[in-house]
Amino acid sequence: MITTITLNAAIDQVYEMNSLMLGETNRVLQKLQQGGGKGINVARVIQTLGGEVFTGGFVGGPNGEKIKALLNEEKMQTGFIQIEGESRICLTVSNKQTKEITELLEDGPTIHQHEWQEMLNWIETQTERSEYFVLSGSLPKGVPMAAYAMITRLLKQKGVRVALDTSGEALKQGVEAIPFIIKPNEDEIVQLIGKQAVAQDDLIQAGEKIQELGIEHVCFSLGEKGALFVNRSGVYQVNAPKINVVNTVGSGDAFLGGLVYKLSKGGDCTDAYKWAVACGSANAAEKEIAKVQKETVQSLIKELQITKIKDR
């Protein structure tokens, strides 16, 4: 069993438009709506691939009820903590003419201390049925900045493997707790190491330094440039397949979903790395967020090459 946590869950809405003109009336061609937030997105991909997954987090108010209803329609296994505040809405606007994606993200609710403690209690109970936990996304107000570090240490004491995908100070403190997997993008690695890491050599050097702390898999998702992976045996590069890009929102979550799914099945890490890139790419070819097609993923895997570019 894999459990994913979304501390700042949302209703994800996608507006597809012919064009977007600021200061003018714009007509929406199509509206898509689903329960979202990074951990939920990861769970959706794992479920699509055939994995057993449970997803939890905070939900509140009418938006929270809508999130639960939407996920129930997808037959996802959920266990949310009910809060006093209102869950957020995140809006993605897709411009068909320019192919530009615009995101409008609400901050979300403030979490009270008793709600946070209830979450920690729930997580500890959930360790009895989970081998992997995925901790993803931003932290809502009221939750300590060390939240992911606290959860990671709790889970490791129970023998659970942790995948962490966040940014800023939450990522920095989370890394200090030594999760099993981290998946920063280029912007997040810049925040993490405090220098402008733009060249491949910079990423490799940063990845090796982080991996030496004890993190088993350091994964850099690089969009159309594919991905870099650093583990104890070396540094691996996976190319990105050629796709018709429709909506890249959620591709990082799909990437992590594919990676954790394959590792949880006992797959070789090189196979898991290819599944990660294939899932991220498959997501980018879809209008909806983190709704990959398994057949597409399997087809894309055949196009991928993994190269060990450095021994360690």
Residues designated as active site? 253
What's the DSSP call for residue 38?
H
CA-CA distances (angstroms) from residue 32 to 28, 253, 266?
11, 18, 35
What's the DSSP call for residue 246?
S
130 Cβ neighbours under 8 A, 6+ residues apart: 1, 2, 3, 54, 160
> How, if at all, do strands 227-231 and 2-6 pair?
unpaired
Q: Rounded CA gap, 111 and 59, in Å?
A: 10
Task: Count the Cβ atoms, other than its own, within 10 Å of residue 292.
Answer: 27
Query: Containing H/E element for 231?
Result: strand 227-231
**Which tokens sit at 256?**
């992590």
**Which tokens sit at 245?**
């890009």
> How, if at all, do strands 2-6 and 53-59 pair?
parallel
Which amino acid, 47?
Q
**Which tokens sit at 57?**
């987090």
DSSP string, 55-111: EEEEE-HHHHHHHHHHHHHTT-EEEEEE-SSPPEEEEEEEETTT--EEEEE---PBP
